[in-house]
A and B are shown apart, each in its own frame.
Chain A
């Protein structure tokens, strides 16, 4: 029996902590009528619900990739079990062949042969220069390579049909749940389920063929070292999500606490906090990040004994990056909250609370914090897409995630020279850009829906 050793990386812990916090906040919102009403408005927005569906798919991929373990190495029975140095995740286990079936070098999407000519020995014929067959891509076809196109079309159609079937089941279930097809199609439901189902249809019709083909072909091709590009895309999702979510987690307490305290107490506290954020703000963002990352790199390089595996080191570097991004990006939200608190503290109900002798801490917690929550939520969702885009740029500059960690940034960085190659290798770059575009677009649309629902000025 294969044993395994569970590995909990720090970022995993934070991801699951974040999920639990999210659920807890959800419960809290369900009890607060005002916030619940705002989220209902998000639920009624078609663009909001459609983008939320896409985000959910990304989130599931990210969560699957956040359960790590080290598989046991095969050894003689009776020996003490040795565990592999490689840290795998549940996603790796599910995507099995994608991870292990590596070719020699570049191969185009859905190809059966390599992208570069090689000299091969043919018994009886001699040496030839030809495009060698792939080890795995289309290997099930055997010698019958001509059937590849028909095989691909057949599998894609089969996948699409399965996807459609799955979608029909989902649609039927939701129609039953909301009370009839007519209501569903016309959108006469509390939430915009028709938008969700339409998004799901698109997703099923694209992901179905993708899954059906992924086991037998490299759907998005392979990169320089022969690794499947689709697998790299899947792995990048987690990195992007962590950068987008954990960073806001880092910056949130600082921004909320300092912003409200500055606005509420004014005087020298306000001066001090304003001074701190003006100083941080005046250092150009990229340079501050660069300086901090360079320093962090020195610390990591001079303390190799801290990390048992390469994955742990890359993980800590990712978290440090989130931390640095958080430190450099809290100033905007802090300033907004300070301004809002300055306005709120002059309102009658706060003055009444003060007249009753309610303590400052209690006023902040009970009366101010809930009334600036909409700003916090809007800032949270708005920042996400910016951070995902920033990761790619930072990785290009060389101050992003660890080079061994797969992310959209490292993918683009590795692939950008390939456009200068003859013949051109375009698939890694395009795949990374498209995946990032879908994620960021969904996040932006969701952020818009949230802003429209929460902003009292827009309502």
Chain B
């Protein structure tokens, strides 16, 4: 087990280096720091001096990879690549355009993001699995057919509609919850109910249909026929045999998204004014704050890779047929 984990962790390193190189290429090679400076400064204030000053303030005035002018090891370390990209590995994200420390900002915003993402994830999983199980139980009846039709219709509606419509209806017309904002401590629940509910509803269509096919695949397997032949009633067959076995692909399939829950949801957070990482990312994108976007790309990739490793582990835990190979 330990050797397996170690190997997976080692495999993550070249992937992270690849991610780092891609983001570096996107942010510094496709566009020179001069272009970025022009973007940030706006057309009116562009002078060579202003650009030079902008670059110097942010440390973009160094060479990309090799600094011939610096002595010794500094030829490699006193460069943009080392300062801006390689430092990400040790959690040094630098500063945003407004001068704030990105790492501290991320730490502060993780809580609100999780407060939305985690309940949405758990509740959504429970609701969709229950719904899919019901559809599979009543398979090939009118209930199942219409259920699937509704699922297809639900997944054809834009996610924006769920958010805009839900916010309008429950916050503005019925005034059940505040339209947007966030509170400290337990007071936050008032702000969380609606986004979580909308998140769950918006996800039902696609997931329920997908889980239903997994259940149906399981229904047609041999062990189910054996269970029925033994004389077990349909309820026991469904809850003791089919549900348990179908949960394996469903749960191992969702493990990969668990770490990325930290990243928050872009749309929900920005619509409901929740100070999480999702709205932080959107603000950074709209303000064209390259340092923040770069940091979020890196963190997102790290979390995804953690998710992949967790997926591997969960497979080996639930399915003894898969050896640690």
Name A's B-contacting residues (CB within 8 A).
Answer: 275-276, 278-284, 286-288, 290-292, 294-295, 297-299, 301-302, 385, 389, 392-393, 396-399, 408, 412, 416, 419-420, 429, 433, 436-437, 440-441, 443-445, 448
Interface centre among A298, A398, A412 (most CB of B within 10 A): A298
Query: How far is B27's CA from A7's CA once the two chains are assembled, in angstroms?
Result: 34
Q: Which residue of B lies closest to A429 (CB)?
A: B164
7 A-B residue pairs with Cβ-Cβ distance under 8 Å, sorted by A, are A282-B19, A282-B301, A396-B267, A397-B282, A433-B160, A441-B153, A444-B155
Please pick, from A278, A279, A298, A448, the residue contacting B22 in the complex, using a CB distance under 8 A: A279
List the 10 closest pairs (A to B, CB-CB), nearest first: A279-B18, A284-B300, A441-B156, A440-B156, A282-B304, A282-B301, A298-B31, A287-B297, A290-B285, A398-B286
**Contact string against A for B residues 23-54, beta-carbon threshold 8 Å, 1 for contact and 0 otherwise:** 10011001100011011000000000000000
Tell which of B191-199, B245-253, B288-296 binds the partner: B288-296
Question: When the two chains form the complex, which single residue of B22, B156, B296 contacts A437, counting CB atoms closer than 8 Å?
Answer: B156
Within 8 Å by CB of B18, from A275, A290, A393, A397, lies A275
The reply to whether A396 and B160 contact each other, CB–CB distance below 8 Å, is: yes
Closest-by-CB residue of B relative to A439 is B156
- Most interface-central of B39, B158, B308 (chain A CB within 10 A): B158
Q: Which of B22, B156, B263, B290 contacts A284 (CB 8 A)?
A: B263
Given contacts A279-B19, A419-B164, A419-B168, contact A287 B281 (CB under 8 A): yes
Chain B residues within 8 Å of A295, by CB:
26-27, 30-31
A280 to B18, CA, bound (A): 9
Q: Which A residues are CB-close (under 8 A) to B301?
A: 282-284
| Chain A residues near B296 (CB-CB < 8 A) | 284, 287
* Chain A residues whose C-beta falls within 8 Å of the C-beta of B27 in the assembled complex: 291, 295
Task: With both chains docked as a complex, state the minimum distance between the C-beta of A148 and any C-beta of chain B, in angstroms.
Answer: 29
Q: B15: CB under 8 A from chain A?
A: yes
Given A294-B290, A398-B285, A448-B152: A433 in contact with B158 (beta carbons within 8 A):
yes
Nearest neighbor of A440 in chain B, beta-carbon distance: B156
In the complex, which residues of chain B have a beta carbon less than 8 angstroms from the beta carbon of A408?
158
Whether the Cβ atoms of A433 and B297 lie closer than 8 Å is: no
Query: Smallest CB–CB gap between A313 and chain B, Å?
Result: 16
Nearest CB in chain B: distance from A323 CB, A: 13
Q: Which residues of A contact B285 (CB under 8 A)?
A: 290, 294, 397-399
Is the CB–CB distance between A281 and B304 below 8 Å?
A: yes
Please name 5 further chain A to chain B contacts, defined as beta carbons within 8 Å, in addition to the given A278-B15, A294-B285, A437-B158, sorted by A numbering.
Answer: A276-B18, A284-B260, A385-B156, A398-B282, A412-B164
Nearest CB of B to A46, in Å: 13
B294 near A291 (CB under 8 angstroms)? Answer: yes
Q: Are B164 and A291 in contact (CB under 8 A)?
A: no
Does B159 belong to the interface (CB within 8 Å)?
Answer: yes
Contact with A along B285-325 (1 / 0, CB 8 A): 11010100110110011001100100000000000000000
* Chain B, range 125-176, C-beta contacts under 8 Å to A: 152-153, 155-161, 164, 168, 172
How far is B266's CA from A436's CA once the two chains are assembled, in angstroms?
21
Distance in Å: Cβ of B245 to nearest Cβ of chain A? 18
* A393 / chain B contacts, CB cutoff of 8 Å: 158-160, 266-267
Q: Give Cα distance in the complex from A389 to B39, angstroms.
A: 29
Q: Is the CB of A444 within 8 A of B156?
A: yes
Inter-chain contact B157/A298, CB cutoff 8 Å: no
Contact across chains for A290 and B293 when beta carbons are under 8 A apart: yes
Residues from 100 to 142 in B contacting A, C-beta threshold 8 Å: none
Chain A residue at minimum C-beta to C-beta distance from B263: A284
Known: A290-B285, A444-B152. A279 touches B260 (CB 8 A): no
A298 touching B286, Cβ below 8 Å: no
Residues of A within 8 Å of B231, CB to CB, are: none
B278 to chain A: closest residue by CB:
A286
Other-chain contact of B304, A284, A301, A416, A419 (Cβ < 8 Å): A284
Complex CA distance for A288 and B22, rounded to whole angstroms: 10
- Docked pose: A301 CA to B36 CA in angstroms: 11
A239 CB to nearest chain B CB (Å): 14
Contacts of B160 in A (CB 8 A): 392-393, 396, 412, 416, 433
A287 close to B300 (CB less than 8 A): yes
Contact partners of B155 in chain A: CB under 8 A:
444
Task: Across the interface, name the chain A residue whose C-beta is closest to B25.
Answer: A295
Instruction: Give the distance in Å from the alpha carbon of A206 to the alpha carbon of B296 in the complex.
Output: 47
- Which chain A residues lie closer than 8 Å to B23 at the CB level? 283, 291
Residue of A nearest to B284 (CB): A290
Interface: B14 (CB within 8 A)? yes
Name the residue of chain A whose CB is nearest to the CB of B290. Answer: A294
A433-B14 contact in complex given A284-B263, A287-B281, A397-B282, C-beta closer than 8 Å: no
A177–B263 alpha-carbon span in the complex (Å): 58
